[in-house]
Structure 1
Amino acid sequence: MKFFVLVILTLAIAANGNPFSRKCKCKAVSNTINYSFHSWDISSCKFCSCKNAAMINCEQVCGTMVENYARTGCGKVIKGSKIKYSWKASSCSSGTSSIEYTCS
């Protein structure tokens, strides 16, 4: 019986990501081919739901980080390059923005 429960739990984790540890990840990506220029691990939480503030605010925080990254020149990216933000809040939400920022 314990083995069966362990197998079911393992399959659930493999299918849905680790429900015990959620993470908010952010990337600054090219506006055309989604090539990643820079990435950040923004937050994480153990045993939290998708209603946790770290997961709810993932997209908003990512957008702010990428906007600031663009304002400061995007590192070694060519000036004038256009970038977007891409976020992933574990299995709660993910996507790529339609907003473009220009590297100064």
Structure 2
Amino acid sequence: MKLFLLVVLFFIITVNGNPLNRECKCKAVSNTIHFPFHSWDISSCKLCSCKDAAMVKCEEACKAMVQSYALTGCGKVIKGSKVKYSWDASSCSDGVSKVEYTCA
């Protein structure tokens, strides 16, 4: 029985990511091929659910990071390049924005 529980726990962790440690990750990606220009680890939480603010606000926080990144010139990216934000809130949500930001 113990072996069965360990196998089930391993399966849950493998499929859904680690449910004991969730992270909000963000990337500024090119608007066409989604090549990452820059990435940030925004937040993490231990033993939290998808309802935790760190996970619920992941997309919103990522959007703000990429807006600021674009306003400050996107590092060494060519002026006028366009970027989108891509976020990953562990198994809670992820995606790529439809909104494009122009690098100053």
TM-score by length of 2: 0.98
Aligned to 1:21: 21
Inter-partner Cα distance in structure 1 for 2:82 and 2:4: 51
Q: Which amino acid aligns with 1:66?
A: V
Inter-partner Cα distance in structure 2 for 1:95 and 1:4: 34
For residues 1-104 of structure 1, the aligned pairs below 5 Å read 1-104=1-104
Matched positions, count: 104
Report the Cα offset of residue 60 of structure 1. Answer: 0.3
Unpaired runs of at least 5, structure 2 = none
Q: Which amino acid aligns with 2:90?
A: S
Report the Cα offset of residue 94 of structure 1. Answer: 0.5
Inter-partner Cα distance in structure 2 for 1:15 and 1:103: 37
Report the Cα offset of residue 16 of structure 1. Answer: 0.8
Report the Cα offset of residue 3 of structure 1. Answer: 1.5
Report the Cα offset of residue 4 of structure 1. Answer: 1.4
Identity %: 69
Inter-partner Cα distance in structure 2 for 1:60 and 1:8: 34
Q: Which amino acid aligns with 1:78?
A: I
Which stretches of structure 1, 4 residues or longer, exceed 2 Å deviation after superposition?
none
Q: Deviations over 1:57-98 (max 9, x none)?
A: 000000000000000010000000000000010000000001
Q: Secondary structure at the match of 2:33?
A: coil
